[in-house]
Amino acid sequence: MTLTLALLMAAQVTTGAPTTDGAATPAAAPTTVVEGTTPAQEEEDEGSATAATAATRDIYVTARRRSEQAQNVPIPLSVVGVKELDSTGSFNVARLAQLQPTLQFYSTNPRNSSVNIRGLGAPLGLTNDGIDQGVGVYIDQVYLSRVAVATLDFLDVAQIETLRGPQGTLYGKNTVAGAINITSKAPSFTFGGRAEVTLGNLEFKQAKASVTGPLADDVAIRLGLTTTSRRGTIYNVATNSYVNSQDNIGLRAAILYKPVDGLSFTLAGDYSRQNPECCAQVFVRVGSTQRALNRQYDALARAQGYEPPSRNAFERLTDLDAELNARNVLGGLSLRGEYELGGGTLTSVTAWRFWDWLPANDRDFTGLPITTLSQNPTRQDQYTQEFRYAGEGRNLDYVAGVFAFYQDIHTTGTQRQGPAASRWLINPSSALASDPSVLNGLTAENDIRLKNFSGAVFGKLNWKLTEQLTLSPGVRLNYDDKVGSYNSIVRDGQGNLVPYSGGTPRQAAQRDAIQPQSFSGEAYRAWNVTYDFTAAYKPSRDVLTYATYAHTFKSGGLNLNGVPVVNGVVQTQLAQIAPEKVDHFELGVKSQFWDRKATLNVTGFWTEIRDYQAVVNNSSTSTLRGYLANAGRVRVRGVEADFAIRPSDRLNLYVNGAFTDGRYIDFRNAPCPPELSGGGTPTAANPTIGAPGQPGTNSPVVCDISGQWLPGISKFAFSYGGEYNLPTQVLGQTGEAYVGVDASTRTKFSSNASRSIYTDVGGYTLTNARLGFRTDSGVNLFGWVRNLFDAEYYEVLATTPGNTGLIAGNVGDPRTYGVTLGLSF
């Protein structure tokens, strides 16, 4: 079963107290600014609040589309405020994940990113525009369909709520794994602001600033800015430069208009840009496959006199010779209107958002000119409209709404082979392997399009039968319409078209390297119904128990990275992907004791998914990075337990833990791991399958991986830490000195869709520390160290194309340190 420890000091939290129900945040004063925050509260949060002076107050969340005390919400959730984000250096989702054991984030570049909760959400390492994410990301009630937003810096954020488990009857899209609900700071009619500057090693520089105030009696404005830069952590000996750098900037503006009491409009716009030289994965190891020995990495490298700059990934060296780029731009406009009507609030949220992605990669992962150009720039526009009414009666409250979503995605890409491609990709026994012109200049030009409409009607009712017992049914009717096309035209170095099948041996070799294919007009259209039911029982003021059942869907989709081509025939039957069908069970208890100085929240859950959308690789070197297939059934179960204690205003401590068991229950036609790939095809004359990693033997066509681990899930994960402060004076300024430590530990996890002996990532612990002084006047100066003990760890490992046995990976950040100066007014 899967466990998580939910930490929240909700009712009497003062500065420095844990502010989460899913992850106690050990930093400065808890931030409770949420939608509907009053100007007085906003002003208080702009200023400083030390442990000696902060007002005690409850933690409020909008998880159920209304403002409620977090401990009264029968949903396992975590809440992190702005002060916790700043003091722990959690300026993006990757950093935030270190505070929350069951939030996972994996990324090889902004597009190839996965945000998962309890191991569910998106297949690890998948790049495919034709499917939905399982974790919904919402900023100011606007759904963002691009997970690339998770790699950007948080921009003028007030609070982040992470909701675990299906939320499809409350949020705009089916969110089968959970939702991340980000609330920006609201404009205030009281003038205020804050600024923060950070300097660190690796040339790290970060600045944040925001200001708010009135423009008129009924109009207020807020402006925010953030910028981050850092030298890369990998040295490229081919270009004599550091790569995998950071170069981010973000801008946000919001105008609040309140013409009369009970009516308000908020117009907001934002722009965020990353433009680093990124993203390099370094040589990790060679793992033998079943390919002929002279076609595996070491033999191929020797044949061209090549050796990687280092076989120790933690020397952080690479020699990639193709251009690297990861420009990632997102932005948009939204208009939210809120009108107090009857016994509730009518809300309208209208938004347009865009995403521009301009990448460049080295697809061969070596310093040889095998693939000299690889890039698939993408433009996406999305439009959303939501109407929602949150009403309240004597013994019940409810939320009902309609939601519409439309997106248009266009990807145009190019892959070009270089002069070393023939000797690397063609069987050395063929005379064509010694002729560089066969593959040199071979180019694929791709055109990928998707138009997607999604509409839903949803509602949630909380019926209070007694003072202790509340029943909460929810339902959602959803419709999806996706139409897509994939076209890959391949030409040789002389500009001649490479046919889909047939032709000369030279053309067959070119097709083995890059397979042309085309399909258009593929469509997925379907209705589905999501429903859930929660019973919550509150035997006392400080204890809440609840049980939930949810039946939900993750929308079906299209394979828009191409599908296999067999004997020249495009397998268009694989273009459509069935929806995931999810059954979810949950039991939980939220409790506080010792005069609410301690909080213990425990959740047990069991989730089963039929037709799980899994990554399938075609095990050949081609433009196809993978295609999707539906696994029969997967299961994730576990227990989460979060504990927080604040014995005095001087000290707070927390520990969050999770035990998670995620497995394929039925997946009999899965892609094989690299050690069982690349060999010959079994025949009646020679049916024997070779031993794993045995060169020159037969490989199975498919593998039964039923019972194996789901990728990305550690069986045990923990986050823990605390902060101690002491009142003092420095240079005549009254305030407090403080020291804080936060750590996260996770055990081994699989980093490949089909678990491989080469791609398990070993467990590791990361420890962060800070030491500082903050004043009643709003000054906060502290030094910090991240990865204090300089742990060497991988964020993700990946098999590379072609079954050569090369394993590449993303090494985690080394020890970093710096100083931060913040000022609030």
pLDDT, tens digit (0-9, with 9 covering 90-100), for 508-554: 999 989 989 898 988 999 999 999 999 999 999 999 999 999 999 99
Residue 98 pLDDT > 90: no
- Give me the torsion for CA of 108, 113, 118, 122, rounded to 10°: -120
17: pLDDT strictly greater than 80? no
Q: Is the peptide bond before 703 cis (omega within 30 degrees of 0)?
A: no
Strands 178-184 and 135-139: parallel
Q: Kindly state the tokens that stand for 179.
A: 């939702």
Please state the rounded mean pLDDT for residues 559-581. Answer: 81
Band of pLDDT at residue 61, cut at 50, 70 and 90: confident
Name the class of domain 2-279+325-360+371-417+443-491+515-670+705-824: mainly beta
Q: How confident is the model at residue 80 (pLDDT cuts 50, 70, 90)?
A: confident
Cβ atoms within 10 Å, residue 142: 23
**pLDDT tens, residue by residue, 310-330:** 999 999 999 999 999 999 999
Element (H, E) at 510: helix 505-513
Is the pLDDT at 344 greater than 50, yes or no? yes
In this prediction, residues 37-49 reach a mean pLDDT of 37
Sequence-ordered alpha helix ranges (H) in 77-212: 82-87, 93-96
Are 9 and 17 in contact by the 8 Å Cβ rule? The answer is yes
What's the pLDDT tens digit per position in 786-819? Answer: 999 999 999 999 988 888 999 999 999 999 999 9
How far is 139 from 330, CA to CA, in rounded Å? Answer: 13
- pLDDT band at residue 46 using 50, 70 and 90 as cut-offs: very low
The per-residue pLDDT for 360 is: 93
If you average pLDDT over residues 394-413, what whole number do you get?
94
Q: Which two tokens stand for residue 177?
A: 């794994």
Residue 709 burial by CB count (10 A; 0-12/13-18/19+): exposed, middle or buried?
A: buried
Percent of residues, the chain, with pLDDT higher than 70: 91
User: What is the three-class DSSP state of 29?
Assistant: coil
Phi, psi of 301 (to 5 degrees): -65, -45
Determine the residue type at 444.
A
C-alpha torsion 139→142→144→150, nearest 10:
0
* Measured CA angle at 393 (ends 389, 394), to 5 deg: 165
Q: What is the mean pLDDT of residues 574-596?
A: 93
Distance CA 749, CA 539 (A): 39
Residue 187, token pair as written in the block: 């404009």
Q: What was the pLDDT predicted at 695?
A: 96
Above 60 in pLDDT, residue 298? yes
| Dist CA 313 CA 321 (whole Å) | 18
Q: Which residues contact 815 (CB under 8 A, 6 or more apart)?
A: 785, 786, 787, 788, 789, 790
Q: Any residues with CB less than 8 A from the CB of 232 and at least 6 apart, and which?
A: 241, 242, 243, 244, 245, 276, 277, 278
Number of other residues whose CB lies within 10 A of the CB of residue 293: 12
Contact 475, 462 (CB under 8 A): no
Q: Average of pLDDT values for 361-371?
A: 95
Q: What share of the chain is helix, strand, coil (3-state, %, to 5)?
A: 10, 55, 40
Per-residue pLDDT reduced to its tens digit, 608-636: 999 998 866 544 433 334 567 788 899 99
Residue 756 has pLDDT above 80, yes or no: yes
Query: Which amino acid belongs to residue 403?
Result: F
Is the model more confident about 620 or about 33? 620
Task: Summarize pLDDT for 238-294 with one digit per residue, the tens.
Answer: 999 999 999 999 999 999 999 999 999 999 999 999 999 999 999 999 999 999 999
What is the per-residue pLDDT for 400? 95
pLDDT band (50, 70, 90) for residue 126: low
Mean pLDDT of the chain: 88
What average pLDDT does the segment 12-20 reach? 32
Taking only the tens place, the pLDDT of each residue in 685-736 is 999 999 999 999 999 888 899 999 999 999 999 999 999 999 999 888 899 9
> What's the average model confidence in pLDDT over 293-320?
97
Question: Rounded to whole angstroms, how far apart are CA atoms 77 and 139?
Answer: 17
Answer whether residue 775 shows pLDDT above 80.
Answer: yes
| Measured distance CA(21)–CA(69) in Å, rounded | 10
What is the model's pLDDT at position 583?
97
Are 806 and 286 contacting, i.e. CB atoms less than 8 angstroms apart?
yes
pLDDT tens digits, 153-177: 888 899 899 999 998 888 767 788 9
Predicted TM-score (pTM) of this structure:
0.89
For residues 146 and 578, the model is more confident at 578
Q: What is the pLDDT of residue 390?
A: 95
From residue 237, give the alpha-carbon distance in Å to each of 308, 318, 373. Answer: 10, 6, 19
What is the b/e burial string over 638-654, where b = at least 16 CB atoms within 10 angstroms of the residue's CB?
A: bbbbbbbbbeebbebbb
Who wins on pLDDT, 570 or 181?
Answer: 181
- Residues 6 or more apart whose CB falls under 8 angstroms from that of 515 comprise 488, 490, 562, 565, 620, 622, 623, 624
